[in-house]
Copies of this chain bind each other. A is one copy, B any other.
Amino acid sequence: MCDDQELARLDRMKSYRTIKAGETFLWRGDPLVQLSSVVRGIATLNKTLEDGRTQVVGLLLPSDFVGRPGRSEIGFDVTAVTDLTLCCFDRQEFERLVQETPRLAQRMLEMALDELDSAREWMVLLGRKTAREKIASFLDMLVRRTRVKDGQLEPIALPLTRDEIANFLGLTLETVSRQLSILRKEGLVEFQDRRHFVVLDLAALQEATGDDADGGMIV
């Protein structure tokens, strides 16, 4: 994340923590005593309305930051989607480090602004896209994420259940399932099992996102 003797100091104050899949380990409103960053696994930031409707407002992948310096309360529930390993720091000590380390603050700023851009792209999806476009956008995002490593048409992991995807896209799990079936029947994608798919027609998939050519997720 940074490259200096600050790393050494970060090193001394860090500790590791593991969480089992499915567990919500930070709750909105609780005091925020530790910050952390994801080492391994996937987590989501969620908010639930009083009647139980849930929206995922952030997806945390390895290297992503959890919690926010300069705030004493947790703003959103955080749930482990898979088994999770975190690298934790004491919040106040970390804040002190940020104050004394200009480059760390700049790096944090950069990360926050990137997340803000992603959140805004996601707002377009939530507010204006159809179910089909939402699903296509979601798959396209996964493709862009994994394409870096893979050559081309490798099978891609679908890390979330239908229900979790629904809460991510502002849909119901039934609609997610139906739209995935439609894309499959149209030959855009193919499933080897329910958690792994291959893109057969990337152009058509991106066409189905509703975005203009370059306009995909920044994520």
| Partner-B contacts on A (CB < 8 A) | 29, 45, 47, 49-51, 53-55, 57-58, 68-71, 75-76, 98-99, 102, 105-106, 108-110, 112-113, 115-117, 119-124, 126-129, 169-170, 210-212, 214-215, 218
Contacts and interface: CB of A to CB of B under 8 A. Distances in A.
Contacts of A55: 123-124, 127-128
B71 A127 contact: no
Contacts of A170: 126-128
A68 to B, nearest CB: 5
B57 A128 contact: no
Given A102-B105, A106-B99, A110-B70, A45 B120 contact: yes
Nearest to A50: B212
Contacts of A51: 210
Contacts of A117: 68, 75
A32 to B, nearest CB: 12
Nearest to A53: B128
A-B complex: 7 closest residue pairs judged by Cβ atoms: A127-B170, A126-B126, A57-B120, A102-B102, A112-B112, A119-B119, A126-B127
B169 A47 contact: no
Contact of A119 (B71, B106, B123): B123
A113 B70 contact: yes
Given A119-B120, A124-B57, A127-B55, A50 B109 contact: no
A60 to B, nearest CB: 13
Contacts of A116: 68, 112, 115-116, 119
30 contacts: A45-B120, A47-B121, A49-B124, A49-B128, A49-B211, A50-B212, A51-B210, A53-B128, A55-B123, A57-B120, A57-B121, A58-B120, A68-B113, A68-B117, A69-B109, A69-B113, A75-B120, A75-B218, A98-B106, A99-B106, A102-B102, A105-B105, A109-B112, A112-B113, A112-B116, A116-B119, A119-B119, A122-B123, A123-B126, A128-B170
